[in-house]
C-alpha cells in the first residue's frame, strides 16, 4: 500500500480523512490483488452515487423531465466521467493491484479507476453516513454540475469521437480487439482505437467489447484535448 504521507495527500485531495485506514485500503484494492477487495464497496458506492446525483439534478432542474434528468445522470455517473475524477485525485498511484494487472497498465485503466471511485464513496458512506458522503460527492462534482443544462449532450465517447472526426473530414475510427484474457466469470477485452489525428493507437479494457471500445475512444478524445 502507499506510504502514509502519500495517503494523507490522497485524502487531502478527496477532502476526507478516513478514521479507519483499513477501510481506505480496502477501497483501493482491486480484485486482482486477492479475495479481500473493493467489489462490495463498489456495488454500494454505485447505488449511493446514483442517488446523490439524481437528487442533485432533481433540485437543480425543477422543470426537468424524467428523461432529461436520467440522461444527465447517466452522463455524470458513467465510467469515463468517474475515471476523469480518479485522475484528478491521482488515484492510480494508490491502487493495490495484482502483479498481472499492474504489468498490463491497470493503474491507468478507466474501468479500474472508475470502480475505485465508487468504492471510495461506499467506504465514506459506511464510515460517516449519507450526509457526509453527499457533501463530498457534491464537492467533487461541483464544477461539472455547474456546467450542466437540460440540453447538455450525454453521448458516449464513441459517438463523440466519430462526430469529431466527421466534422474535421477525417476517416472514421478503427477498433480492433488486440487481447482477451481472464476466466469466464471475469473475462476482459483489450481494444485498440486508431484514428488519423493520433500517431499511436489508444487502448481500452473492459469486461465486454463495446465498453472497451468506449474507453479507447475516451482516451483518444482525452489526447485530442476534447
Q: Which of 9, 2, 17 is nearest to 136 (CA)?
A: 17
- C-alpha 115/C-alpha 196 separation (Å) is 31
- C-alpha 190/C-alpha 210 separation (Å) is 10
How far does CA 20 lie from the centroid of its chain?
24
Angstrom distances, CA of residue 75 to CA of 120, 141, 182:
20, 12, 29
Angstrom distances, CA of residue 67 to CA of 57, 76, 144, 148, 151:
12, 14, 19, 15, 11
Query: Which is catalytic among the residues 46, 101, 110, 115?
Result: 46
Q: Active site includes 115?
A: no
H/E segment holding residue 180:
strand 174-181
Query: Which is catalytic among the residues 42, 80, 110, 118?
Result: 118
- C-alpha 143/C-alpha 146 separation (Å) is 5
| Total H helices, total E strands in the chain | 10, 3
HSE at residue 118, side-chain half, CA atoms within 13 A, is 30
H/E segment holding residue 26:
helix 21-27
- C-alpha 57/C-alpha 54 separation (Å) is 5
Q: Active site includes 118?
A: yes
Which residues form the catalytic set?
Answer: 46, 118
Amino acid at each position: 500500500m502507499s506510504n502514509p504521507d502519500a495517503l494523507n495527500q490522497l485524502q487531502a485531495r478527496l477532502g476526507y480523512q478516513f478514521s479507519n485506514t483499513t477501510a481506505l485500503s480496502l477501497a483501493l484494492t482491486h480484485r486482482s490483488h486477492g479475495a479481500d477487495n473493493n467489489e462490495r464497496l463498489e456495488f454500494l458506492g454505485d447505488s449511493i452515487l446514483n442517488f446523490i446525483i439524481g437528487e442533485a439534478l432533481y433540485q437543480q432542474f425543477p422543470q426537468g423531465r424524467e428523461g432529461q434528468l436520467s440522461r444527465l445522470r447517466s452522463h455524470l455517473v458513467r465510467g469515463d466521467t468517474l475515471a476523469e475524477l480518479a485522475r484528478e485525485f491521482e488515484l492510480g498511484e494508490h491502487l493495490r493491484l495484482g502483479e498481472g494487472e499492474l504489468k498490463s497498465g491497470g493503474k491507468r485503466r478507466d474501468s479500474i479507476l472508475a470502480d475505485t471511485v465508487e468504492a471510495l464513496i461506499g467506504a465514506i458512506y459506511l464510515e460517516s453516513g449519507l450526509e457526509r458522503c453527499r457533501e463530498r460527492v457534491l464537492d467533487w462534482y461541483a464544477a461539472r454540475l455547474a456546467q450542466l443544462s437540460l440540453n447538455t449532450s450525454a453521448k458516449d465517447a464513441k459517438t463523440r469521437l466519430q462526430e469529431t472526426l466527421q466534422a474535421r473530414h477525417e476517416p472514421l475510427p478503427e477498433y480492433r480487439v488486440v487481447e482477451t484474457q481472464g476466466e469466464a466469470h471475469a473475462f476482459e477485452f483489450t481494444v485498440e482505437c486508431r484514428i488519423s489525428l493520433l500517431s499511436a493507437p489508444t487502448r481500452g479494457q473492459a469486461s465486454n467489447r463495446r465498453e472497451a471500445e468506449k474507453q479507447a475512444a475516451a482516451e483518444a478524445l482525452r489526447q485530442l484535448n476534447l
